[in-house]
Each structure stands twice: as structure tokens, then as C-alpha cells.
Structure 1
Amino acid sequence: MTTRADLDAERTRMRDPELAAAYAECKAIHRRYDPSFYAGCLMLPPVKRPYIDSLYAHARVLDQIVDEQTGSDAAAKEASLDERVAAYVLAVETGDSPDPVLKAAAHTASTWDIPIEYFHAFSDAMRSDLTVTDYATYDDLLAYMHGAGALLGLQLVPVLEPLDPSASERSIALGYALQLTNILRDVDEDLDRGRVYLPQEDLEKFGVTRADLEARTMTDGIRALLKFETGRARAYYADAHAALTLLHPSSRECVGTAMTLYAGILDSLERADYQVFGVRHGFSKAKALRIAAPAYLRARRSWR
């Protein structure tokens, strides 16, 4: 278990130019691609933020291989993914890597004793995106969300310092909440990639077909479907919020603010009457700042 003395030692080690540069690269990736989560992480004591940056950046690079590597077929992307995973395993074993994101992520895993199995399970979920284009049942989708969302949450928990072992189990609800929120926000974008994450059994329940979604015209059925899935996401947020007291006081504002900002995507979706076609939902920067600023002041008091 990482102690305060360990963190003080790590603060000294972070002065190593190569390690500092590696974490700086992760911070830039985190800030660029997920400003809501990044803003939430500013509530953490400064010594902990780099670790969260590295875990996010590592996950983001794997996601980019699957979704943004242009000019590559599924086999080429899978080969790139396997190569990346092997490089991460080597980085963990040797404690170093020429790749800055891998260097920082491996250092974080070592510092906080994060099981390597969590990283493998996450990469397996990313790999499924290369071949799976839809999900028959909600249980099928849950299995995917466990790897893509919950396992990332489990990686973060040690850094957040749980006060009770059940915090890890409750973090799974947060992973599901964030992942389902992303799925709802990205319906339009995922159609461009040939994917429909919303379960087929739910589409049938509301009289919606894949062709209806691909037509990108809002119908009463699509609206009812999205409202139903939003309710599921809200339930996960409620479950995760109830677990905030299971975390160290210095971590609560971080997780709470991230949840508020992400749940704001659902707020935006509801205000738009569930229109997801041609719209990118979320908070404006000004509104996000109004939420984050007082939370930051509260968080600073918890660092003492």
C-alpha cells in the first residue's frame, strides 16, 4: 500500500527529467481529449494528478488505435493493439519505456500496485470494437462496459485511496455510468464507425431498428429509447455518488466533480429532447468553470 512517505519519495523522483516529461505528455493528452474528467482531477492533491493523467492517456492511446488509426483494416489495428499491449507489459517488467505514455503508466502501476490484469481486460474490450458492431442484449453490453469503463475505474481506485474495500466494487457503477453516458452522447459518431452500442433487445422494445438510427431522423421510438437508457445511466450515477464517502477526503471532490460534469451531458441531452443527431452534448466551458471553481476551493481544504 502506498503511504504518505512513499508519495513524498515519489515527489522527489518526479523531478527526474525523463519521468517528468513522460507525465507531462500524459497530462497534455488528458487535457485535450477529456476536459470534463481532467477538470475533475484538478481537485486531487497535485502529487496525485500525474498518476490519473497517465492512466487516462494509456487508455486513450489504445482507444485511438481502434477508432482513429486511419487507412488500416481490422487486422492491422489488432496487430497495433497487440504490439502496444506487449510494450506495456515490457514497460511494467523493466520499469521503463522509450514511449512516454507507457513509461508513465508503468510507473503509476508500480507505485500503486495496480494489477496488470486490469489493463489486459481493458485492452480486450478495445479489441472487441474491431469486430463487434452491435449487442443483442443489455447483459452483452454490460460485459463490454465492464472492460471498457469499469476496469478503468478499478485502475483509478488505488490512487483515490479507498477507505473501505467495497469502494472498488462501487467504482464499477461509476465506470458503467461514464461509459453509458459516452454511448448516448456518441450515437451519431458511432454510426459513422458502423457501430450501434444500444442493445438490440432495447431497440425492439421501443420499435426502433438499426435502419431507423442510420436514417438519423428523430422519431418517438428513438426518443423513448434514449430516455430509457438515460434513466439507466442516472441510476448508476446515484449508486456511485453514494460511495463517495468510501474514498479518502482528498479524492471526493475529484470524483464528485467529474460525475457532475459527465452527468451534465445527460442534462444537455434531456434539454434537447434527446436529439443526438448532429449535436454534441455537454457543458459550455463557462458553466463547467462555475461548477469546478467552488469544488476546487473545497478540495484544497481537504488536502491539509
Structure 2
Amino acid sequence: MRPFTHPPRPELVAAYVQCRRIHAHYGRTYYLATRLLPPERRPHVWALYAFARVADEIVDNAAGGDPRRLTGWSEHALAALRAAEPPHPRLEPVLAATWHTMRAYDLDPGLLEEFLASMAMDLTVTRYATWADLRGYMRGSAAVIGELMAPVLGASGPEALHCAGTLGEAFQLTNFVRDVAEDLDRGRIYLPGEDLRRCGVSEDALAQAVRCGQPDPAVRTLVAVQVRRALDLYEQARPGLAMVDASARPCLEAAFTLYRAILWQVVDHDFDVFAGRLSVPRRARALTAGRVVAAAGVNRLAVRGGRRPPRRSCS
């Protein structure tokens, strides 16, 4: 990291505050985890999250799947981030904060270019035939964000970046599991078509589960398959928890534990993600954060004590 040699200007501080507000509003679980970071690192996580969220909101609000707004913003953002001088922090707070964060940690703008390419896919691609296809999308939409976050948390090297990318995928697949109904309302299905076929689930059956809030056994099995896959990604990413700085480890462990706990909420509701948006209760989030701080980086936290979900198979 190349730290700034002087305190940031008030305008830049305000830009990072705006990023914090975006993070707190849209990413409550991860935002709670960032509060466990050393104060000097928190703004950089907020900036990267805010950049990703702005692009995601443009996609979700694109009328009729019109790619022009995202394309225009993406081209402008990438040019601004590669420029020698930063954007004006009052006029473009998120881009200004991201510009400074990218330089503070010498981050590769090409990773954000990958991310924006995946965001563009959301305007034209609404189905994924195979797990490999979905993971290709997740490379740009989630893994690269993990790779960008890794240096902010003090991790470096190929193995650490691989674990960070895998954890990003685990977080996103957790969101896909929880948000099946919400995504379907937007016309998207982030569950591989091959899994739907193996489980005997049609798109009409998914739509019916959304309408009535009551999935049939085949749909529950389909969700269970995704839960198992997401838990496997968490286990693959787990070694990365020990690869960040000790001061950043509580943040990463809290995010790991709290996001994985969403999957256990799905298990506890018998794989029904259609009756309402599942989340970890506020008291449980606070207790988990407290346990992480008390453990001081000891990697032995698990909301459900290592419990594994019942196995269900579509084959």
C-alpha cells in the first residue's frame, strides 16, 4: 500500500462518507463486518462496494434492458479511474473515492473492467445453461471484487487472491439462493438450467412458488443443491481467512460467518426462499460480531457449530 502523505481534503472525506452511506444502506451484513476493520481501511472498502453498487443499480433500473446508460457510465468511469488526475469529489464522489483507493493499494483497473462487463451481461443474458456458465458470469461480477478487496485487507499472492475470488463467489451464490423470487420478478434466473432439469423443476414451477410463496418438493431440492454448492465454496475459500492482516481478520471472519449464516436460515426454513426475504436476525449479527472480536482472529466461529444441511440430490 502507498499511504497518502497528508490528511485527505474535506471534499475527499465527504466522498468516502457518501460511499459509506451507500454501503450501509444496501449491504447491511457486510457493512457491519467493515466496522471491525481498522478505521483507516474502512473507507477503501466502502469505496469499492459503492462503485459496484452504483453499477448494479444502473442495471436493475435499466428500462427495457437498455444498455446505453450502463455503457455510457462504464466508459466514463473507466476513463476517470485511469486518468492521471482524480474526478472532482463533490461532483463524482464515488468515482473520486474509488480513484484514490485504486492508487492507495495499486489496484488493477482491469478488474473493474471485468466487473462492468459482467454487469452488462445482465441486460441481455437472463439464463445460464450450466454451472460453468454461471461461474463464468460470477468471475466478473463477484470474484474480481474479492480480488480487489484482498489487498485492502492485507492479502497478496496467487493463493490469497484465489481464496478471495472464491469467497466473492460464495457471497454472490448466497445472494442468488436467497433472492430467487426477487430475481425472477426481474426476469432473471441465476440457477443453472441443468440443475432445473435434473431436479425436475420447470420455470413455471419456480413462478408458481413465487406467486403462492410455497415451493413444491422438487423446488426445495433445487434450492438445497445450490445451498450445498455455496457451502462448498465457503470451505474452499476458508484458508484465505488466515492470509489477511491480523487487524483485518475479524472483519473477514464476520463477513464469512454472517453471510454463510444466511444459508443456514434457508436450511432452517426447509429450503423455502419464497415466503419472504431471509436474513440473519439483528441480535445474531451483533453476537457474531462480538464473538469474532473476542476470538481475536481465531478461525473457529460457526453460527451453527459446523452443522451440515441434509443432503438432497437431483440425480
TM-score (norm 1): 0.91
Q: Which of 100, 124, 129 is 1:131 aligned to? A: 124
Q: Which amino acid aligns with 2:251?
A: C
Aligned to 1:36: 29
User: Contact 1:65/1:80 (CA < 8 Å) preserved in 2?
Assistant: yes
Question: Which structure has more helix as a fraction of its residues?
Answer: 1
Q: Which amino acid aligns with 1:73?
A: G
| Distance 1:153-1:163 versus aligned 2 partners, 3 A rule | closer
Aligned to 2:102: 109
Aligned to 2:246: 249
Q: CA deviation at 1:112?
A: 0.9
Q: % of aligned pairs identical?
A: 36
Whether 1:155 and 2:148 are equivalent positions in the alignment is yes
Matched residue of 1:250: which SS? coil
1:95-135, CA deviations, whole angstroms, 9 ceiling, x for partnerless residues? 22321011101111111111111001101111111111111
Q: Which amino acid aligns with 2:16?
A: Y
Matched residue of 1:88: which SS? helix
Aligned to 1:85: 74
User: Contact 1:167/1:246 (CA < 8 Å) preserved in 2?
Assistant: yes
Aligned to 1:22: 15
Whether 1:13 and 2:7 are equivalent positions in the alignment is yes
Please identify runs of 4+ aligned residues in structure 1 that moved more than 4 A. 297-301
User: Contact 1:164/1:246 (CA < 8 Å) preserved in 2?
Assistant: no
Matched residue of 1:196: which SS? coil
1:45-92, CA deviations, whole angstroms, 9 ceiling, x for partnerless residues? 1000000000000000000001134xx2222xx211122222222322
Aligned to 2:307: none
Matched residue of 2:284: which SS? helix
Matched residue of 1:31: which SS? helix
User: Contact 2:153/2:248 (CA < 8 Å) preserved in 1?
Assistant: yes
Matched residue of 1:290: which SS? helix
C-alpha distance in 2 between matches for 1:220 and 1:136 = 22
Aligned to 1:234: 231
C-alpha distance in 2 between matches for 1:161 and 1:276 = 36
Whether 1:45 and 2:38 are equivalent positions in the alignment is yes
Q: Which of 32, 47, 57 is 1:54 aligned to? A: 47
C-alpha distance in 1 between matches for 2:118 and 2:187 = 17
C-alpha distance in 1 between matches for 2:10 and 2:247 = 27
Whether 1:210 and 2:203 are equivalent positions in the alignment is yes
C-alpha distance in 2 between matches for 1:141 and 1:90 = 28
Q: Which amino acid aligns with 2:68?
A: A
Matched residue of 2:248: which SS? helix
Q: Which amino acid aligns with 1:84?
A: W
C-alpha distance in 2 between matches for 1:182 and 1:300 = 26
C-alpha distance in 1 between matches for 2:256 and 2:16 = 24
Q: Which of 87, 96, 104 is 2:87 aligned to? A: 96
Q: Which segment is superposed worse, 55-64 or 241-250?
A: 241-250
User: Contact 2:150/2:156 (CA < 8 Å) preserved in 1?
Assistant: no
Q: Which amino acid aligns with 2:64?
A: D
User: Contact 1:43/1:300 (CA < 8 Å) preserved in 2?
Assistant: no
Whether 1:267 and 2:264 are equivalent positions in the alignment is yes
Count of paired positions: 290
Whether 1:292 and 2:292 are equivalent positions in the alignment is no
User: Contact 1:96/1:103 (CA < 8 Å) preserved in 2?
Assistant: yes
User: Contact 1:91/1:102 (CA < 8 Å) preserved in 2?
Assistant: yes
Aligned to 1:281: 278
Q: Which segment is superposed worse, 209-218 or 175-184?
A: 209-218
Matched residue of 2:155: which SS? coil
C-alpha distance in 1 between matches for 2:248 and 2:177 = 27
Q: Which segment is superposed worse, 97-106 or 287-296?
A: 287-296
Q: Which amino acid aligns with 1:79?
A: R
Q: Which segment is superposed worse, 222-231 or 240-249?
A: 240-249
Unaligned runs of 5+ in 2: 299-315
